[in-house]
Chain A
Amino acid sequence: MSVLLIAEHNNKEVKQFTFNAITAASQINDDLHVLVIGKNADPVAKSISEVPNVKKVIHVDNDIYENYIAENYTPVILKLSENYSHIICSANTFGKNLMPRIAALLDTSQVSDIIKVISEDTFLRPIYAGNAFATVKSTDKKKCITIRPTSFDAAPTSGGSAEIVKGENTDPSENTKFLKKEEIKSDRPELGTARIVISGGRGMQSGDNFKLITAIADKLNAAIGASRAAVDAGYITNEHQVGQTGKVVVPDLYIAVGISGAIQHLAGMKESKVIVAINKDGEAPIFSVADYGLEADLFDALPKFLEELNKLNTIQK
């Protein structure tokens, strides 16, 4: 049977992690169908139809799907589910909110946040904030799976021409209403997919001091991250949080500034290719995962860091 992937998008563009999920889903079974639920989301359906791994796009369009509400998505997916062996989406806040609702109504025990497909029923997933890896086998007939997007490469976005078929909408829920979304627009790369991430922690001491981080992020075209302590203290907003209960990032370069390195933070960044730690406490656990550790006061080190970057003739973008 085929695999059904639920696309995440904003009605205009496909969210990047959908392409990572496509890779994971096609490792399970190459007969991959993608479901797009939205309002005037034709451009989304079209983009996905151009992904070579995708065999079919099912597009359900209605005004009621302008905003993503799990209660409204779920019945559409349940109606389609009988033709599929696996239902899949990303393990970000979109998929974490949606998939268990589907799984419970299919009487399936969901497998969350997989980082590797071993076979069509067996997967690897981190537990205990990534301090252990569990190999698990689903014995349910229908499988509901969320995938950790940063553990799979993004699928190529062009070259395919899957057919797009229209699907039917279902009645909206009367009990859940979308009121507003406060989305912070930024020209910076997205935290989840950025090549370089620079993060600040409690050591930054104030929100204002984050401008030291911002200046370097601008220079390196990096995304800005933060530890939970920094978000809790109000230095920076929640969407920047990296860690067990925030975002998982796997950039080429992760620079942790004034972050002690609690296991909950390490859970979100320790798979990064190169890790730099700048901290004045030489005993901070962050140094145990850092490829390059600099024991220094960040208020001296960050301006110097920017100065040294400015001296370089070229910087990779």
Chain B
Amino acid sequence: MKILVAVKRVIDYNVQIRVKEDGSGVVTDNVKMSTNPPDDNAIEEAVKIKEAGKAKEIVAVTVGEEKAQETVRKALAVGADRGILVKASGTVEPLAVAKILQKIVEKEKPDLVFMGKQAIDDDCNQTGQMLAAILNWPQATFASKIEVKEKVLEVTREVDEGLETIEVSIPSIVTCDLRLNEPRYASLPNIMKAKKKPLEQIDASELGVDIKPRIEQIKVEEPPKRKAGIKVSSVEELVQKLKNEAKVI
């Protein structure tokens, strides 16, 4: 079995986001970038399946600028066998990423495609479902447990009411929740080895898909700030304030 894992390079989750003064976006210059957190879970799961002898090859793919290959290298350091960088500049919307991944799937013919359930930059939560749709594959989103069985996956999904378990046939797409597993850290020797693993670069324009944005970003602004509150000195004071000042209890 072969697993394709899609990863995205995003502003690190610990970075305090700053909005550009001209309203054209958020500041990304000299800001720490990392792999989108649930994409780390997607890679980890693929590696675990391979370690269990159920997969032969893991291919990590990303779409983005030249520097996005760091994200692929990290996946290689954790256990992916090969990498692909599809070069594209500017905003590539989830629909366009799904179309690019469709081309990669046609070429690589994986049995499974894993990725994080949501990117923490645009918070869209679309790409996996869109790829499943255009491939006409089943989708198992928000996965917190994956069991690989004969020709099918049994996937536990985190949904608003609790947990749901579904069975999807292979090939299928799985989008991963942060609770799926505990991503490992890459060891230094593995980081060194990853530098020698193959990383293919493809220009998005060679794939023959329309990736022009369909959504115009008119402006980006700071959200309204909450006005500063007060510290209370005791539980009694807190309850009195809630009752008599805020009038919420």
Contact = CB atoms under 8 A, between A and B. Distances in A.
B166 interface: yes
B232 A176 contact: no
Given A130-B223, A134-B220, A138-B214, A220 B229 contact: no
B196 interface: no
B102 to A, nearest CB: 10
A176 B138 contact: yes
B1 to A, nearest CB: 17
B107 interface: no
B17 A128 contact: yes
B211 to A, nearest CB: 11
Interface string A169-197: 00001111111111110000000100010
B178 interface: yes
Contact of A109 (B158, B213, B229, B248): B213
30 contacts: A93-B142, A96-B129, A97-B142, A100-B133, A101-B133, A104-B133, A109-B94, A109-B214, A112-B125, A122-B218, A126-B223, A129-B17, A132-B223, A139-B216, A175-B138, A176-B168, A177-B166, A182-B163, A182-B164, A228-B178, A238-B163, A238-B179, A244-B123, A253-B246, A263-B13, A264-B13, A289-B229, A292-B232, A308-B238, A312-B243
A110 B133 contact: no
Interface in B1-45: 11, 13, 16-17, 19, 26, 38
B130 A273 contact: no
Nearest to A78: B133
B17 A132 contact: yes
Interface string A281-306: 01000011111111110000100110
A269 B162 CA distance: 20
Contact of A180 (B93, B160, B165): B165
Contacts of A305: 235, 238-239
B90 to A, nearest CB: 14
Interface string A98-122: 1111111101111111000000001
Across the A-B interface, give the 4 residue pairs with the lowest CB-CB distance, nearest first: A100-B129, A104-B130, A109-B214, A131-B17
A252 interface: yes
Interface string A127-165: 111111111111110000000000000000000000000
B117 A135 contact: no
Contacts of B232: 292-294
A270 B227 CA distance: 11
A79 to B, nearest CB: 15
Contact of B246 (A97, A287, A291): A291
Q: Chain A's interface: helix, strand, loop or mixed, by majority?
A: mixed
A104 B121 contact: no
B224 to A, nearest CB: 9
A100 B178 contact: no
B81 to A, nearest CB: 27
A181 B160 CA distance: 11
Contacts of A178: 164, 166
A139 B214 contact: yes
A212 interface: no
A276 B154 contact: no
B106 interface: no
Interface string B162-178: 11111111001000011
A74 interface: yes
Given A253-B249, A291-B229, A100 B126 contact: yes
A292 B128 CA distance: 41
A101 B132 contact: yes
Interface in B98-125: 98, 117-118, 120-125
B148 interface: no
Contacts of A97: 129, 139, 141-142
A110 B158 contact: no
Contacts of A140: 214
A175 B137 contact: yes
Contacts of A192: 160
B213 A238 contact: no
B68 interface: no
A237 B226 CA distance: 30
Interface string B204-245: 000000000111111111110010111110111011011100
A70 B17 contact: no
Nearest to A140: B214
Given A133-B223, A182-B163, A110 B95 contact: yes
